Amino acid sequence: MGVKAGRVHNFGAGPAVLPIEVVEEVQMALPNLMDSGFGLCEISHRSAIFQDVVDSAMGRVRRVLSVPDDYTVLFLQGGASLQFYMTALNILRTGEMADYIITGGWSKKALAEANRVGDAQACWDGSNSGFKSVPNKGEYELREQSIYLHYTSNNTLYGTQFHEPPSSGGKPLILDASSDIAGVPINVSSHDIIYAGAQKNLGPSGVTLVILSPWAMSRVQEGIPTMLDYSVHASKGSLFNTPNTFGIFVLDCVFKWLEKNGGLDGAISRNRAKSNLLYKELDRCQFWKPHADIDSRSVMNVTWRLSNPKLEPLFLEEAKVAGLGGLKGHRSVGGIRASLYNGCSMESVQILVNFMQDFESRYN
Ligand SMILES: *Cc1c(COP(=O)(O)O)cnc(C)c1O
Protein backbone atom coordinates (compact mmCIF):
# COMPACT_ATOMS: atom_id res chain seq x y z
CA MET A 1 0.00 0.00 0.00
CA GLY A 2 1.34 3.45 -0.90
CA VAL A 3 2.08 6.12 1.68
CA LYS A 4 -0.85 8.18 0.44
CA ALA A 5 -3.58 5.58 0.87
CA GLY A 6 -6.32 6.51 3.32
CA ARG A 7 -4.90 9.95 4.15
CA VAL A 8 -7.47 12.70 4.65
CA HIS A 9 -7.26 16.20 3.22
CA ASN A 10 -5.84 17.53 6.46
CA PHE A 11 -6.78 21.08 7.53
CA GLY A 12 -5.74 20.59 11.17
CA ALA A 13 -4.17 23.52 13.04
CA GLY A 14 -1.17 21.60 14.32
CA PRO A 15 0.65 19.31 14.32
CA ALA A 16 -0.26 19.79 10.72
CA VAL A 17 -0.03 18.10 7.35
CA LEU A 18 3.42 17.67 5.79
CA PRO A 19 4.17 17.57 2.06
CA ILE A 20 3.84 13.92 0.97
CA GLU A 21 7.40 13.99 -0.41
CA VAL A 22 8.63 14.79 3.09
CA VAL A 23 6.61 11.96 4.64
CA GLU A 24 8.14 9.58 2.09
CA GLU A 25 11.67 10.80 2.80
CA VAL A 26 11.16 10.31 6.53
CA GLN A 27 9.78 6.85 5.90
CA MET A 28 12.96 5.96 4.00
CA ALA A 29 15.24 7.35 6.73
CA LEU A 30 13.60 5.55 9.64
CA PRO A 31 15.43 2.22 9.18
CA ASN A 32 18.66 3.65 7.75
CA LEU A 33 19.63 7.33 7.80
CA MET A 34 21.61 8.37 4.72
CA ASP A 35 23.24 4.93 4.32
CA SER A 36 24.84 5.17 7.76
CA GLY A 37 23.29 1.87 8.78
CA PHE A 38 21.74 3.66 11.75
CA GLY A 39 18.00 4.39 11.86
CA LEU A 40 16.81 7.99 12.05
CA CYS A 41 15.69 7.62 15.68
CA GLU A 42 18.63 5.39 16.60
CA ILE A 43 21.68 7.53 15.84
CA SER A 44 23.86 9.59 18.17
CA HIS A 45 23.40 13.34 18.08
CA ARG A 46 27.22 13.46 18.35
CA SER A 47 27.76 11.47 15.14
CA ALA A 48 29.18 13.10 12.01
CA ILE A 49 26.07 12.04 10.09
CA PHE A 50 23.76 13.84 12.47
CA GLN A 51 26.02 16.89 12.54
CA ASP A 52 25.51 17.01 8.76
CA VAL A 53 21.76 17.02 9.31
CA VAL A 54 21.95 19.94 11.77
CA ASP A 55 24.31 21.89 9.51
CA SER A 56 22.07 21.29 6.53
CA ALA A 57 18.94 22.37 8.41
CA MET A 58 20.59 25.54 9.73
CA GLY A 59 21.91 26.42 6.27
CA ARG A 60 18.50 25.97 4.69
CA VAL A 61 16.78 28.06 7.38
CA ARG A 62 19.30 30.84 6.74
CA ARG A 63 18.85 30.68 2.97
CA VAL A 64 15.08 30.35 2.78
CA LEU A 65 14.38 33.03 5.40
CA SER A 66 17.32 35.29 4.41
CA VAL A 67 18.70 35.30 7.95
CA PRO A 68 21.56 37.83 8.29
CA ASP A 69 24.99 36.21 8.89
CA ASP A 70 25.39 37.80 12.32
CA TYR A 71 22.10 36.36 13.58
CA THR A 72 22.03 33.14 15.64
CA VAL A 73 19.79 30.20 14.66
CA LEU A 74 18.80 27.67 17.34
CA PHE A 75 16.74 24.47 17.43
CA LEU A 76 15.32 24.17 20.94
CA GLN A 77 12.66 22.14 22.73
CA GLY A 78 9.70 23.15 24.88
CA GLY A 79 7.63 24.62 22.06
CA ALA A 80 6.68 28.24 21.49
CA SER A 81 5.16 28.11 24.98
CA LEU A 82 8.60 27.88 26.57
CA GLN A 83 9.75 30.84 24.46
CA PHE A 84 7.01 32.97 26.04
CA TYR A 85 9.08 32.81 29.23
CA MET A 86 12.56 32.28 27.81
CA THR A 87 12.55 35.43 25.64
CA ALA A 88 11.67 37.59 28.63
CA LEU A 89 14.03 35.75 30.99
CA ASN A 90 17.00 36.30 28.68
CA ILE A 91 16.24 39.87 27.67
CA LEU A 92 14.38 41.66 30.48
CA ARG A 93 15.87 42.61 33.85
CA THR A 94 13.71 42.74 36.97
CA GLY A 95 11.63 45.90 36.94
CA GLU A 96 12.21 46.63 33.26
CA MET A 97 9.27 47.21 30.94
CA ALA A 98 8.08 45.42 27.81
CA ASP A 99 4.97 46.00 25.71
CA TYR A 100 2.78 43.31 24.17
CA ILE A 101 0.16 43.49 21.42
CA ILE A 102 -2.65 41.12 22.40
CA THR A 103 -4.31 39.72 19.31
CA GLY A 104 -5.43 36.36 20.67
CA GLY A 105 -4.90 33.54 23.14
CA TRP A 106 -1.23 32.98 22.35
CA SER A 107 -0.14 36.58 22.88
CA LYS A 108 -2.08 36.62 26.17
CA LYS A 109 -0.07 33.63 27.31
CA ALA A 110 3.19 35.24 26.19
CA LEU A 111 2.36 38.34 28.23
CA ALA A 112 1.53 36.32 31.33
CA GLU A 113 4.91 34.57 31.21
CA ALA A 114 6.87 37.79 30.61
CA ASN A 115 5.18 39.22 33.70
CA ARG A 116 7.01 36.65 35.79
CA VAL A 117 10.22 38.41 34.83
CA GLY A 118 9.52 42.12 34.42
CA ASP A 119 6.86 44.76 33.99
CA ALA A 120 5.13 43.49 30.85
CA GLN A 121 1.89 45.14 29.77
CA ALA A 122 -0.57 45.06 26.90
CA CYS A 123 -0.32 48.16 24.71
CA TRP A 124 -3.28 46.95 22.61
CA ASP A 125 -5.85 44.26 23.38
CA GLY A 126 -8.44 43.05 20.87
CA SER A 127 -10.42 40.88 23.28
CA ASN A 128 -13.37 43.29 23.50
CA SER A 129 -13.97 43.04 19.76
CA GLY A 130 -13.67 39.25 19.66
CA PHE A 131 -10.15 39.32 18.18
CA LYS A 132 -11.51 40.01 14.69
CA SER A 133 -8.62 42.25 13.72
CA VAL A 134 -5.04 43.30 14.39
CA PRO A 135 -4.24 46.95 15.20
CA ASN A 136 -3.27 49.58 12.67
CA LYS A 137 -0.28 51.81 13.22
CA GLY A 138 -1.20 54.56 15.65
CA GLU A 139 -3.84 52.50 17.46
CA TYR A 140 -1.43 51.76 20.29
CA GLU A 141 1.47 53.42 22.04
CA LEU A 142 4.55 51.90 23.60
CA ARG A 143 5.70 53.09 26.98
CA GLU A 144 8.72 55.30 26.65
CA GLN A 145 10.90 53.09 28.82
CA SER A 146 9.84 49.77 27.42
CA ILE A 147 12.68 47.57 26.16
CA TYR A 148 10.88 45.75 23.35
CA LEU A 149 7.56 45.16 21.60
CA HIS A 150 6.24 41.60 21.33
CA TYR A 151 3.62 40.54 18.79
CA THR A 152 2.14 37.39 17.27
CA SER A 153 2.21 37.63 13.47
CA ASN A 154 -0.59 35.15 12.85
CA ASN A 155 -3.36 34.33 15.27
CA THR A 156 -3.92 30.65 14.83
CA LEU A 157 -7.16 30.54 16.84
CA TYR A 158 -8.97 33.56 15.39
CA GLY A 159 -7.56 33.60 11.86
CA THR A 160 -6.13 37.12 11.86
CA GLN A 161 -2.70 38.18 10.68
CA PHE A 162 -0.41 41.20 10.49
CA HIS A 163 0.39 41.87 6.84
CA GLU A 164 3.19 44.18 7.91
CA PRO A 165 5.07 44.16 11.20
CA PRO A 166 3.62 46.59 13.75
CA SER A 167 5.62 49.75 14.22
CA SER A 168 7.66 49.81 17.40
CA GLY A 169 9.11 53.30 17.10
CA GLY A 170 12.57 51.84 16.56
CA LYS A 171 12.47 49.54 19.60
CA PRO A 172 13.44 45.89 19.25
CA LEU A 173 10.70 43.58 17.98
CA ILE A 174 10.09 40.10 19.34
CA LEU A 175 7.88 37.90 17.21
CA ASP A 176 5.99 34.67 17.79
CA ALA A 177 5.78 33.40 14.20
CA SER A 178 4.69 29.85 15.05
CA SER A 179 1.83 29.65 12.60
CA ASP A 180 3.08 31.59 9.59
CA ILE A 181 6.86 31.30 9.47
CA ALA A 182 8.10 30.37 6.00
CA GLY A 183 4.57 30.82 4.67
CA VAL A 184 4.40 34.61 4.33
CA PRO A 185 6.92 37.40 3.70
CA ILE A 186 9.24 38.07 6.63
CA ASN A 187 12.04 40.55 7.19
CA VAL A 188 14.25 38.80 9.71
CA SER A 189 16.66 41.71 10.02
CA SER A 190 13.96 44.04 11.34
CA HIS A 191 13.36 41.69 14.29
CA ASP A 192 15.52 40.87 17.30
CA ILE A 193 13.98 37.55 18.28
CA ILE A 194 11.76 35.34 16.15
CA TYR A 195 10.50 32.03 17.53
CA ALA A 196 8.25 29.36 16.11
CA GLY A 197 7.16 25.90 17.13
CA ALA A 198 7.81 23.72 14.07
CA GLN A 199 4.57 21.76 14.05
CA LYS A 200 2.53 24.12 11.87
CA ASN A 201 4.63 25.20 8.93
CA LEU A 202 8.06 23.58 9.44
CA GLY A 203 7.81 19.97 10.59
CA PRO A 204 6.77 17.96 13.63
CA SER A 205 6.20 19.07 17.23
CA GLY A 206 9.09 19.07 19.69
CA VAL A 207 11.46 21.38 17.85
CA THR A 208 11.33 25.16 18.10
CA LEU A 209 13.14 27.45 15.72
CA VAL A 210 14.61 30.52 17.45
CA ILE A 211 16.41 33.31 15.57
CA LEU A 212 18.31 35.94 17.57
CA SER A 213 19.96 39.21 16.60
CA PRO A 214 23.36 40.27 17.94
CA TRP A 215 21.50 42.72 20.23
CA ALA A 216 19.38 39.88 21.66
CA MET A 217 22.48 37.73 22.26
CA SER A 218 24.23 40.66 23.94
CA ARG A 219 21.30 41.16 26.31
CA VAL A 220 21.32 37.56 27.62
CA GLN A 221 21.47 37.77 31.38
CA GLU A 222 24.05 35.96 33.46
CA GLY A 223 23.05 33.37 35.99
CA ILE A 224 19.84 32.10 34.46
CA PRO A 225 19.20 28.34 34.45
CA THR A 226 21.47 26.57 31.97
CA MET A 227 18.75 25.05 29.81
CA LEU A 228 16.98 28.42 29.49
CA ASP A 229 20.11 30.35 28.51
CA TYR A 230 20.30 31.23 24.80
CA SER A 231 24.07 31.69 24.98
CA VAL A 232 24.57 28.11 26.22
CA HIS A 233 22.61 26.67 23.30
CA ALA A 234 24.32 29.03 20.85
CA SER A 235 27.82 28.12 22.04
CA LYS A 236 27.06 24.42 21.46
CA GLY A 237 25.33 24.81 18.09
CA SER A 238 22.01 23.60 19.56
CA LEU A 239 23.72 20.39 20.75
CA PHE A 240 24.22 21.28 24.42
CA ASN A 241 22.04 18.35 25.38
CA THR A 242 20.26 15.78 23.23
CA PRO A 243 18.08 17.73 20.82
CA ASN A 244 15.00 16.43 19.03
CA THR A 245 17.04 14.60 16.39
CA PHE A 246 13.96 13.30 14.58
CA GLY A 247 12.35 16.74 14.51
CA ILE A 248 15.46 18.46 13.17
CA PHE A 249 15.72 15.89 10.39
CA VAL A 250 12.09 16.41 9.37
CA LEU A 251 12.53 20.18 9.52
CA ASP A 252 15.52 19.85 7.19
CA CYS A 253 13.36 17.81 4.78
CA VAL A 254 10.63 20.47 4.86
CA PHE A 255 13.14 23.22 4.05
CA LYS A 256 14.64 21.08 1.30
CA TRP A 257 11.13 20.71 -0.13
CA LEU A 258 10.64 24.48 0.11
CA GLU A 259 13.92 25.12 -1.72
CA LYS A 260 12.90 22.70 -4.48
CA ASN A 261 9.55 24.44 -4.85
CA GLY A 262 10.50 28.07 -5.34
CA GLY A 263 11.78 28.90 -1.86
CA LEU A 264 9.92 31.39 0.29
CA ASP A 265 8.45 33.18 -2.73
CA GLY A 266 6.97 29.92 -3.98
CA ALA A 267 5.39 29.22 -0.59
CA ILE A 268 4.01 32.76 -0.40
CA SER A 269 2.31 32.56 -3.78
CA ARG A 270 0.88 29.08 -3.15
CA ASN A 271 -0.50 30.17 0.22
CA ARG A 272 -2.04 33.31 -1.28
CA ALA A 273 -3.69 31.29 -4.04
CA LYS A 274 -5.10 28.75 -1.56
CA SER A 275 -6.51 31.38 0.80
CA ASN A 276 -7.90 33.51 -2.06
CA LEU A 277 -9.82 30.51 -3.32
CA LEU A 278 -11.33 29.80 0.09
CA TYR A 279 -12.15 33.43 0.98
CA LYS A 280 -13.80 33.82 -2.42
CA GLU A 281 -16.18 31.02 -1.51
CA LEU A 282 -16.80 32.51 1.95
CA ASP A 283 -17.68 35.87 0.35
CA ARG A 284 -19.90 34.32 -2.32
CA CYS A 285 -23.06 34.09 -0.19
CA GLN A 286 -24.52 34.87 3.21
CA PHE A 287 -24.59 31.18 4.11
CA TRP A 288 -21.00 31.57 5.41
CA LYS A 289 -19.92 34.10 8.03
CA PRO A 290 -16.14 34.67 7.96
CA HIS A 291 -14.78 35.67 11.40
CA ALA A 292 -11.89 38.06 10.69
CA ASP A 293 -12.22 41.62 9.39
CA ILE A 294 -11.18 41.72 5.74
CA ASP A 295 -7.97 43.74 6.29
CA SER A 296 -6.79 41.36 9.00
CA ARG A 297 -7.62 38.06 7.32
CA SER A 298 -5.05 35.31 7.74
CA VAL A 299 -3.54 33.48 4.81
CA MET A 300 -2.75 30.50 7.07
CA ASN A 301 -5.82 29.89 9.25
CA VAL A 302 -9.23 30.69 7.76
CA THR A 303 -12.03 30.84 10.34
CA TRP A 304 -15.78 31.08 9.79
CA ARG A 305 -19.21 30.26 11.17
CA LEU A 306 -22.31 29.12 9.34
CA SER A 307 -25.08 31.73 9.42
CA ASN A 308 -27.14 28.92 10.92
CA PRO A 309 -24.69 27.58 13.57
CA LYS A 310 -26.93 24.55 14.14
CA LEU A 311 -25.68 23.23 10.79
CA GLU A 312 -22.02 23.27 11.90
CA PRO A 313 -21.93 19.75 13.40
CA LEU A 314 -23.54 18.43 10.21
CA PHE A 315 -21.01 20.32 8.10
CA LEU A 316 -18.15 18.73 10.02
CA GLU A 317 -19.76 15.29 9.88
CA GLU A 318 -20.32 15.43 6.12
CA ALA A 319 -16.85 16.89 5.57
CA LYS A 320 -15.39 13.90 7.38
CA VAL A 321 -17.29 11.48 5.17
CA ALA A 322 -15.95 13.40 2.16
CA GLY A 323 -12.38 12.83 3.38
CA LEU A 324 -11.83 16.34 4.77
CA GLY A 325 -10.33 16.38 8.28
CA GLY A 326 -9.25 18.80 11.01
CA LEU A 327 -11.86 21.46 10.24
CA LYS A 328 -13.36 21.99 13.69
CA GLY A 329 -12.77 25.52 14.99
CA HIS A 330 -10.79 26.10 18.17
CA ARG A 331 -12.96 25.73 21.27
CA SER A 332 -12.54 29.44 22.11
CA VAL A 333 -14.00 30.53 18.75
CA GLY A 334 -16.21 27.65 17.63
CA GLY A 335 -17.33 27.18 14.05
CA ILE A 336 -14.98 26.04 11.31
CA ARG A 337 -11.26 26.59 10.78
CA ALA A 338 -9.24 25.50 7.77
CA SER A 339 -5.48 25.72 8.25
CA LEU A 340 -3.69 26.17 4.93
CA TYR A 341 -0.08 25.70 6.01
CA ASN A 342 2.76 24.97 3.58
CA GLY A 343 2.03 21.22 3.57
CA CYS A 344 -1.61 21.73 2.54
CA SER A 345 -2.02 21.41 -1.22
CA MET A 346 -4.10 23.49 -3.62
CA GLU A 347 -5.85 20.25 -4.54
CA SER A 348 -7.06 19.83 -0.95
CA VAL A 349 -8.40 23.39 -0.88
CA GLN A 350 -10.18 22.91 -4.20
CA ILE A 351 -11.84 19.77 -2.86
CA LEU A 352 -12.89 21.64 0.29
CA VAL A 353 -14.42 24.45 -1.77
CA ASN A 354 -16.26 21.98 -4.00
CA PHE A 355 -17.63 20.29 -0.89
CA MET A 356 -18.72 23.66 0.56
CA GLN A 357 -20.58 24.61 -2.62
CA ASP A 358 -22.38 21.30 -2.64
CA PHE A 359 -23.26 21.60 1.07
CA GLU A 360 -24.53 25.15 0.57
CA SER A 361 -26.71 24.12 -2.36
CA ARG A 362 -28.37 21.43 -0.26
CA TYR A 363 -28.94 23.33 3.02
CA ASN A 364 -29.30 27.00 2.09
C1 LIG B 1 0.56 26.72 18.29
C2 LIG B 1 1.04 28.06 18.75
C3 LIG B 1 1.74 28.22 19.96
C4 LIG B 1 1.99 27.09 20.92
O5 LIG B 1 3.02 26.31 20.48
P6 LIG B 1 3.61 25.09 21.35
O7 LIG B 1 4.73 24.67 20.49
O8 LIG B 1 2.50 24.10 21.52
O9 LIG B 1 4.05 25.65 22.65
C10 LIG B 1 2.18 29.49 20.28
N11 LIG B 1 1.96 30.54 19.47
C12 LIG B 1 1.29 30.42 18.31
C13 LIG B 1 1.07 31.61 17.44
C14 LIG B 1 0.81 29.17 17.92
O15 LIG B 1 0.14 29.05 16.75
Please tell me the residue having the least CA distance from ligand 1 atom 5. Answer: 80
Res 331: pLDDT:
87
Res 4: pLDDT:
80
Confidence class of residue 1 from pLDDT cuts 50, 70 and 90?
Answer: low
pLDDT tens-digit map of 266-305: 999 999 999 999 999 999 999 999 999 999 999 999 999 9
Distance (Å, whole) CA 189 – CA 68:
6
> How many other CB atoms are there within 10 angstroms of residue 14's CB atom?
19
pLDDT tens-digit map of 165-192: 999 999 999 999 999 999 999 999 999 9
Task: Give catalytic residue positions.
Answer: 106, 176, 200
User: What are the backbone dihedrals phi and psi of residue 157, each rounded to the nearest 5 degrees, phi first?
Assistant: -80, -40
Confidence class of residue 137 from pLDDT cuts 50, 70 and 90?
Answer: confident
Q: pLDDT exceeding 90 applies to what percent of the chain?
A: 96
- CA 351 to ligand 1 center in whole angstroms: 28
Beta strand 301-306 pairing with 288-290 = antiparallel
- CA 160 to ligand 1 center in whole angstroms: 15
Whether the predicted model's global pTM rises above the 0.85 cut: yes
- CA 174 to ligand 1 center in whole angstroms: 15
Does residue 159 have a pLDDT over 60? yes
Distance (Å, whole) CA 102 – CA 140:
11
Task: List all residues 6 or more positions away from 167 whose beta carbon is below 8 Å from its beta carbon.
Answer: 137
Does residue 346 have a pLDDT over 90? yes
pLDDT tens-digit map of 35-60: 999 999 999 999 999 999 999 999 99
Please count the CA atoms within 13 angstroms of the CA of 117 that sit on its side-chain side. Answer: 23
Q: Mean pLDDT for the chain?
A: 97
Using most ligand atoms within 8 A of CB, pick from 100, 156, 180 the residue to mutate for ligand 1.
156
Average confidence (pLDDT) over 253-265: 98
Ligand 1 binding pocket (C-beta < 6 A) is 14, 79-81, 106, 152, 156, 176, 178-179, 197, 200
Task: Delineate the domains of the chain, giving CATH numbers in brackets.
Answer: 23-260 (3.40.640.10), 262-363 (3.90.1150.10)
Confidence class of residue 333 from pLDDT cuts 50, 70 and 90?
Answer: confident
Contact 78, 208 (CB under 8 A): yes
Does residue 233 have a pLDDT over 70? yes
